[in-house]
């Protein structure tokens, strides 16, 4: 059986990545949509052959509970809306994939996890790179200490903001934060899954060269994550620099990805040679994996708890930016 997915929010990511990826999935398909824009409902319905009974808006969304075509709701909205729609989907009896960052606070993440647990529904976060072979190799090399213990780790992710100065990503109430929440989260993920450890403390500083644009949210953030074995990962995020890299140094060698975080075209190498994996669609692999978890009852490797762990790191980084110095995770 192929499970039916309904995408909630038909913005850039749903339109450019998720819907196209759902044309290549084996265990799930694009069964429904939730949108506030009637014109989009019309276009999508024709393009993807979605029946009228599987098209919802934000007001009648809860009646999705009566629709057996929809097994999984995929929340692809501005971050501040993730909690509400995840909880409404779980209460409607649907399994949920929620985009990153999971929510605007760790407390919201806890509430989302609790609601899905109470409804006995599975919850996963849209961490596509867990399903990318370059990142899976990075996890293996780091966690299995193939080149010995890691002695250094660096990661950077960002882009130069060139779009709408009124976008939700620049509003604290809708985005929760700026480049750190949106882009830095990939470097936190990478540090955590390359080391296989959870950071204990962080130290951060920020730079703002365009305060008129980044009035409410962070532009560029430099942060150090301190791991239990003493390793200090150096990470940075930005809405004003085109960064995408990851580099791990170990006792007897090392490995790196550059670019590290795009949908396509990741390149990587270790001291033993160049990585060479065939092209794949990260989002198709991610959604197929979740569909298989739902079908088999197996746990997902990227559950809500994974989103919560990143959010705790992000909150500690903001505490360091606000109050200075080294801040322990709570």
Which one of residues 4, 32, 126, 158 is an interface residue with ligand NAD (CB under 6 A)?
A: 126
Among 83, 88, 94, 128, indicate the residue that binds ligand NAD (CB under 6 A): 128
Nearest residue to the partner ligand NAD, using Cβ: 11
Instruction: Tell me how many residues contact ligand NAD (CB under 6 A).
Output: 19
Residue 20 in the binding site for ligand NAD (CB under 6 A)? no
Task: Tell which residue, 213, 232, 211, has the closest CA to residue 222.
Answer: 232
Neighbours of 210 (CB within 10 A): 14
Q: Which is nearer to ligand NAD, 79 or 316 (CB)?
A: 79
Q: How far is the CB of 126 from ligand NAD (least distance, A)?
A: 4
Q: How far is the CB of 37 from ligand NAD (least distance, A)?
A: 6
**Per-residue b or e along 190-200, where b marks 16 or more CB atoms closer than 10 Å to that residue's CB:** bbbbbbebebe
Active-site annotation holder among 85, 134, 186, 193:
186
Pairing of strands 150-160, 123-125: unpaired
Task: In angstroms, give the least distance from the CB of 305 to ligand NAD.
Answer: 18
Kindly state the DSSP code that residue 129 receives in the 8-state scheme: G
Instruction: Find, among 145, 291, 315, the residue nearest to 231 by Cα.
Output: 145
Residue from 48, 159, 168, 222 touching ligand NAD (CB under 6 A): that is 168
| Interaction of residue 99 with ligand NAD, rule CB under 6 A | yes
CB of 237: closest distance to ligand NAD in angstroms? 13
Instruction: Convert residues 41-80 into a mask of x (bound to ligand NAD by CB under 6 A) and - (unbound).
Output: -----------------------------------xxxx-
> Using CB under 6 A, which of the segments 6-14, 141-149, 216-224, 304-312 binds ligand NAD?
6-14
Q: Is 186 a catalytic residue?
A: yes
Is the peptide bond between 101 and the residue preceding it cis, with omega within 30 degrees of 0? Answer: yes
Please list every residue from 179 through 198 that binds ligand NAD, using CB under 6 A: 182
| Least spacing, CB of residue 15 vs ligand NAD, in Å | 8
Spatial distance between the Cα atoms of 304 and 111, rounded to a whole number of angstroms: 10
Please, where are the H alpha helices in the chain? 12-13, 19-21, 38-48, 82-91, 106-118, 133-143, 172-175, 179, 185-195, 282-296, 304-323
Q: CA gyration radius for the chain?
A: 20
**What does DSSP assign to residue 69?**
T
Of the ranges 12-20, 110-118, 217-225, 229-237, which one interacts with ligand NAD (CB under 6 A)? 12-20
Judged by beta carbon, residue 92 or residue 97, the one nearer ligand NAD is 97
- Only one residue has tokens 């700026």, namely 178
Min CB(320)–ligand NAD separation in Å: 22
Cβ-proximal residues to 139 (8 Å cutoff; 6+ apart), any chain: 193, 194, 196
Distance between CA atoms of residues 194 and 248, nearest Å = 8
Single residue of 4, 6, 9, 187 touching ligand NAD by CB under 6 A: 9
Provide the annotated active-site residues: 100, 186
Which stretches of the chain bind ligand NAD, using CB under 6 A?
Answer: 9-14, 36, 76-79, 81, 99-100, 126, 128, 168, 174, 182
């Amino acid at each position: 059986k192929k499970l039916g997915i309904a995408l909630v929010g038909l913005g850039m990511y749903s339109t450019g990545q998720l819907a196209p990826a759902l044309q290549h999935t084996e265990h799930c398909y694009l069964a429904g949509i939730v949108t506030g824009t009637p014109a989009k409902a019309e276009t999508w319905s024709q393009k993807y052959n979605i029946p009228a009974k599987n098209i919802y808006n934000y007001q009648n969304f809860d009646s999705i509970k009566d629709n057996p075509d929809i097994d999984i709701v995929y929340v692809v909205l501005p971050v501040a809306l993730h909690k509400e729609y995840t909880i409404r989907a779980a209460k409607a009896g649907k399994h949920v994939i929620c985009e990153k960052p999971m929510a605007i606070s760790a407390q919201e993440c806890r509430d989302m996890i609790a609601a899905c647990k109470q409804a006995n529904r599975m919850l996963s976060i849209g961490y596509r790179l867990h399903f990318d072979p370059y990142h899976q190799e990075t996890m293996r090399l780091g966690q299995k200490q193939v080149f010995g213990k890691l002695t250094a780790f660096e990661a950077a992710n960002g882009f130069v903001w060139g779009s709408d100065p009124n976008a939700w990503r620049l509003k604290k109430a809708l985005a929760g934060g700026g480049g750190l929440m949106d882009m830095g989260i990939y470097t936190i993920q990478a540090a955590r899954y390359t080391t296989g450890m959870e950071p204990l403390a962080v130290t951060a500083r920020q730079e703002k060269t365009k305060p008129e644009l980044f009035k409410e949210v962070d532009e560029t953030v430099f942060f150090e994550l301190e791991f239990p074995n003493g390793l200090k990962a150096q990470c940075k995020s930005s809405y004003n620099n085109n960064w995408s890299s990851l580099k791990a140094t170990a006792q007897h060698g090392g490995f790196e990805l550059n670019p590290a975080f795009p949908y396509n075209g990741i390149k990587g190498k270790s001291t033993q040679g160049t990585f060479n994996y065939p092209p794949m669609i990260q989002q198709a692999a991610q959604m197929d994996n979740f569909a298989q978890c739902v079908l088999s009852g197996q746990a997902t490797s990227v559950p809500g708890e994974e989103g919560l762990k990143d959010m705790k790191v992000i909150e500690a980084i903001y505490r360091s930016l606000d109050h200075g110095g080294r801040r322990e995770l709570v």
